[in-house]
Structures are given as C-alpha cells and as structure tokens.
Structure 1
Amino acid sequence: MQENKPSDLLARRLGIDLFSAASAAFGVSPFITIVDRNKLGAALKRGFADLFTRPHKFVRTPAFLLVFGVYCATYTTANAIDTICSYTNLDNQTPKFLGTTIANMTTCIYKDRAFTRMFGIVAPKGLPLGSYGLFATRDALTIAASFNLPSVLAREFYDRKYFLDYETSQNFSQMLCPAAVQIVSCALHLLGLDLYNRPGISWSSRFNFLAKNYAKTTITRIARIGPAFGIGGVGNRVIKERVSELVFDRQQVGVVATAFK
C-alpha cells in the first residue's frame, strides 16, 4: 500500500479539525440561539418548545445558522492553528489567541448586526469608542479563558495531583475557565452597555448601575458562555481526539509530526 505524503495527512487532520468544530458548534448552537433571541422566561419556553417539537425547522432558521457560523468558525480556527503549529513545531498560544479572537469578533459583529435587523425594535445608533474598547477587551478575555488558559490550568491541576487522570483535568479546566472569567468580563460588558445607552452621565451613576446589575448579569453570562465554550470546548476536543484515533494510527501521526518539524 502506498504511504501517504505528509501533506496529504495534514489535509486529513485539517478535515478532522473542521468536522469536530462543526459537530461541537452544532451541539451548542441551539441553546445559544434561544438565549440570544429570548430574554424572558415565557419566550425561552417557546424557544425550547420549537427546538424539541420542530427541530428540522429550527436548524434551518437564519438565527440558528448565524450562531452556528460564529462557533463553527471560532472552533475551526482554533483547531487548525493547533494542528499547523504542532506540525511546524511552533508554540500555539499566541497564534491561537489572535486567530480565534479575530474569527470570533468578526463573525459576532456580523451575527449581531443581522440579529438587530431581524429582531430589533429600534434603529441602532453608533457605538461609542469607549464601548468598542470595553467590548473588545471583554471578548479577548473570554477567548483567552476558553482556548489558551484551559490547557495551562489542566496541566497545573494534574501536576499537583488534583485529578487522577489528565483528561478529567482537561474537562474540568475547560468548563471552569470560560465561566470564571465572566466575573471580570461582566463588569466590562455592563460599562460598555452603559456608555452606549446613557452617554454623558457621571461615573458615580455608572457604578451604581454596575452594582445593581452585576450579580444577575454575571449569572446570565455564565449560563450562556458556559455551554458555548465550556461544553462546546470539551466536545470539540473529545470529538477531535476520538476521530483522530479512528482515522490515524500512531505511526502516521509520527510521520506527519516529524515531517513538519
């Protein structure tokens, strides 16, 4: 049997990256779509009722496809950067942070604009520069906590014997980090919104607004980001690992890794 070229094997690994990213995104996007569109309890119930009674129609809606596109693009970017950096013997942390941040922010902007046209009740106004900066920092923190920090923390937990096996440490870290960072990023989120909604008011009034809304908004953001990058992150990694085990044997993986060093 003819041996596969390293470039062919790399292409297959990138195909696995896309498949695992799409699978994870498809799994978490229904929940995120419903939460993004519906903020009230009754509306949430209707959203989940549509999902479970008419799933074939739900997954064809523009709202679902937009959300799926955001997370598929984000996970695909992270996976592909991991693969390419592994084969070129480069550190993946900075490229993955920059790549996933760009992918997530650009697709989120497109999705939010489309949602505003589809579901908004008032015309949007220009976003203040301060809000742009706060939202960008908020999203960068979430991306770093979702794609960079979990692997570092998982190794630390495992080395300190907090977990008996490394996979459990990975899963715990992936679930913890995106949710925990919302404790910090929620304040940036609220201040960005307040700059947009109430321009020109005093900072004491802004801090009162922050204190009043911080707890409930943090809980809401954890409930949304947890599935998106916690459950989704675990699913993406596990699917990628399991499919790779089925497609490649250890010898092939070694050939590719050696060829790209």
Structure 2
Amino acid sequence: MSQQLMQSEKNTWGKGQVLAAVLAGDVAAATISATVISPILTVIDRSVVENAAPANQHLLSTLRTNILNSVRRPRLLFATKPFLYMWTLYAATYTTANTVESIGTAITAGADRILISSITFISTCLVNVPLGVWKDVRFVQTYGRSVEQVKFSKMVGNTRPVASPTRSTYPARATSSSRTVAATFLFRDAITIFGSISLPPMLSSAVSAPDPLIPDPSTKNAAIQIFTPVLSQVVATPLHLLGLDFYTSPEGSSVERTQRIKSALLPTTAIRCARIIPAFGIGMVMNTWLRDCFHGQVRGSDSP
C-alpha cells in the first residue's frame, strides 16, 4: 500500500514537473516572438502617431525616416520606453494564450477543445485589450502633438516637436480627453480581435465546400487566417485615427476632425493592414512554431 502511495506521489510530481517545463517553453516562445516583431511594430505605430497631427511630411516619408534611424541606431530603439510598451503588449498576449491553453489541456487532458479555446480567447482578450489601450495612450503621449504645437513648430521653421507656449497646458488636455481616447481604442481593439481570432474560423466553416479556385482546404484556411485580420483594419483604422485626433485636438470641431481623418485615412489604412501581418501573422506563426519545438523537447525528455 505504501509503495502504491509513493508511486502515485511520484507520478503526480512528475506531471507537475512536466507542466512546469511546458509553461517555461510557453513563456520562452512568447518572449522570443515578441522581441522579434516589436521593433517594426514600434516604428510603424510611431510613424502613424507622428503623422496624425497636421504636418508637412507624408506618412510614408515619416515611416521611411523612422526605419532608417532605427537601422542606423538600433540600440536607441531598443532602449526607448515605446519599444518596452510594445514588447510588453505582445509578450503578455502570447504568454497568456500559450499558458492558458497548456493549463487547460493539462486539466482536461485535452478532452474539451471547445472549452479550452473559449477560455483561451477570453483570457487573451482580457489581457490584450487593456494593454493595447495602455500602449496606444503612451504612444500618443510620447509622439503625439497638439495642433497648437504643430503651428508653433511651423512658425519657428521646424517640423519636429519643439517646446511651445502651449506645452504646459498639453498634459492637462490629454488627461481630460483620456477617457474618450481609451474608449475609442477599446472599440478599435474589439474589432481587431474579432477579425483576427473569432471571424476566421467562422468564415472557414462557411466556405468549407470544395472550391476550384483554392482546392486545398488547408491553403484556404491559411488564406482566410491571414487576410481576414488585414481586412478588419479597413473598419478599425478610422477608429484609430479618431482616437489619435481626440488626443491631439481635444477641442477641435467635428468638421476639422473629419477633414484630418479623411486626409490620413488611405495611407494609414494601408500601413495598418501591413502592420497586422507581423502582429497576428508572423508573430503568431513564430510563437506557435517555437512553442511546438519546446513542447517536443519536454515530451522527448519525459519519455523513458
């Protein structure tokens, strides 16, 4: 009897050790993936925020300048707080998705995949959405400029941020409009997550019939998984620009706000459609591949 009890405790401890190793692999995969994609995402988001206020430069010109500066001085990019904000967002998102799925699989022995997927989705949303809003608010606080600041910069012949007479009132205005900005970004993130996680499986089920254009089901599902998040940005980008404009011009009129959003809509939509590919495409593929590799090593070391 005592031998059976000792064997049971040994098996339980062994399972605990395996789960701990699996979770360590989950965290490692999430950390590496977030580190790889965060630099380009930081550059893109910075360019979009800097271009949200009226300026002489076009978005593509701003993006090109920021990319060249990051390539020439990469240490400065990795040392900035915005990079840390971006890295925290995706490291936490990937880590949550990985660990919740692993724990759910261990508890249910993989018996209820629908339950595991639902819990993973809800947990990921609870982490991603508030962190995404937090990241965007920090970005506009770091790189955003009010209309008064832009006017003053042009008066002194400088298109980059400079100290202006209205600088002292800028934080107070940003604070007063922070709730509106956060709510706008929250709605934007809800659309992005729905288009990236919930909608692709629904579309895959709806078009599961044989298709002469794309006969391979796996290829069709992969195309849906890649392009559906991209197309979701057509709806999410106006909300993104609206949130930025609420921050940079909290007292602007609706007509002026609409004109600013319309002028930046097409290039910003194109940039955000491209941005979603590393965030929910390359990043997720890399995270999944690394996670499978780490899990394979754990299973190999655990086998007799």
Is the CA contact (8 Å cut-off) linking 2:132 and 2:189 kept in structure 1? Answer: no
Partner of 1:246: 297
What does the per-residue CA deviation read over 1:166-211, in whole Å, with 9 as the maximum and x for residues that have no partner? 4x56643442232121122234434555666476966x98777766
Note the C-alpha offset of 1:93: 3.4
Q: Distance in 2 between matches of 1:198 and 1:117?
A: 13
1:42-95 deviation line (CA, Å, top 9, x unaligned): 443333233333434432332222211111111111111221222233513332
Q: Deviations over 1:134-154 (max 9, x none)?
A: 432220221233344445656
Aligned with residue 8 of structure 1, among 14, 17, 25: 17
Secondary structure at 2:79's aligned position in 1?
Answer: coil
SS at match of 1:248: helix
The percent of aligned pairs where both chains have the same amino acid is 30
Moved more, 28-37 or 124-133: 124-133
Q: 1:94 aligns with which of 118, 124, 131?
A: 118
Unaligned 5+ segments in structure 2 are 1-9, 49-58, 147-169
Write the deviation string for residues 204-240 of structure 1: whole angstroms up to 9, x where unpaired: 9877776665443322221222221122112111221
Corresponding residue for residue 223 of structure 1: 274
Determine the structure 2 residue equivalent to 1:257.
Answer: none
* Counterpart position of 1:141: 191
| Aligned position for 2:6 | none
TM-score, normalisation: structure 2: 0.66
Q: Deviation string for 1:19-54 (max 9, x for gaps)?
A: 111111111111111112224444433332333334
Which residues of structure 1 form unaligned runs of 5+?
253-261
Q: Deviations over 1:75-133 (max 9, x none)?
A: 11111122122223351333233322222233234333433443344422433766544
The aligned residue for residue 30 of structure 1 is 39
Which structure 2 residues correspond to residues 11-160 of structure 1 after superposition, within 5 A? 11-39=20-48, 40-89=59-108, 90=112, 91-122=115-146, 123=170, 124-127=174-177, 132-150=182-200, 160=210
Q: How many residues matched?
A: 249
CA contact (8 A) 1:155 1:169 kept: no
Classify 1:82/1:150 alpha carbon distance in 2 versus 1 (closer, same or farther; 3 Å): farther
> Which is higher, the Rg of structure 1 or of structure 2?
2
Which residue is equivalent to 1:234? 285
Question: Is the contact made by 1:171 and 1:234 (CA closer than 8 Å) also made in structure 2?
Answer: no
Q: Return the letter of the residue paired with 2:191.
A: L
Root mean square deviation, CA, Å: 3.5
Question: What is the match of residue 164 of structure 2?
Answer: none
Distance 1:158 1:75, change over 3 A: farther
Check whether the contact 2:130–2:186 (CA below 8 A) recurs between aligned residues.
Answer: no
Cα separation, 1, equivalents of 2:265 and 2:66: 26
TM-score by length of 1: 0.75
Q: Which piece of structure 1 moves more, 37-46 or 97-106? A: 37-46
CA shift in 2, pair 1:24/1:147, >3 Å: farther
Contact 1:134–1:191 (CA<8 Å) still a contact in 2? Answer: yes
